[in-house]
Amino acid sequence: MRRPTVWAVAAALLAAATGTARAHSLDEVETMLAGQEQYFQVVERPAPDFTLRTADGLVARLADFRGKAIVLNFIYTSCPDVCPLHAEAIAEVQRLVDDTPMKERVAFISVTTDPTNDTPEAMREYGPTHGLDPANWTFLTTTSDEAEDATRALAKAYGHKFEKTDDGYQMHGIVTHVIDRQGVWKANFHGLRFDPVNLVTFVNALTNDTTRPHPHPAKGRWQWITE
């Protein structure tokens, strides 16, 4: 079956977001993704909190993004392989989102796990280099030199292990986290092979959902493997 083009997907999401087509509920989307997106995992727990700093020195807290769905990932600017690919995957999702009214209701956040070397200049350059639009994308680091391990502790709270190697790089996996408008960690998309359209569909459901989280979310194939 022919995969829809980016513009076709954006048009469909635009219709849903503006009410010209019925937007799928969160329950429906979770059930759909559990069956067709093997890298999708339902989480359903409070998102780990943070108080961090932008490249421009502004303090940013999780609560500051309340009311928006959040797409969150962890990277560091000197990573030579998977971090740039992860950033570009997020940029593709961002382009799909930003072609709809969801742009005002979704925040993209990247957190560095190398705050010592990721200077404000390096952070400011990273987004445009990899196609990320700073209009609704934020790159966060620690609030001070004394809090060097704060972002690595946050990564650990989200289930990551960024293990430093002798050559100055870090061994780590790739996960994209999705948080709802109330600060609940709703899902993970593992690796780089997930379909960006599926992530956008899930985010669209979060921006439209008005129901309570159901207590027993459907399991994706990733959960069956990891449990």
Domains in the chain and their CATH numbers? 21-226 (3.40.30.10)
* CA gap 40, 54 in Å, rounded: 29
Distance CA 187, CA 55 (A): 27
Q: What is the pTM of this model?
A: 0.82
CA distances for 174 relative to 51, 82, 100, 159, 213, angstroms: 22, 8, 27, 11, 26
Instruction: Give the three-class secondary structure for 202.
Output: helix
Average pLDDT rounded to a whole number, residues 177-182: 98
pLDDT beyond 70 at 165: no
Residue type, 215: P
| DSSP 8-class letter at 34 | H
Burial of 152 (0-12, 13-18, 19+ CB in 10 A): buried
Tell me the mean pLDDT in the region 112-130. Answer: 93
The pLDDT confidence band at residue 213, using thresholds 50, 70 and 90, is very low
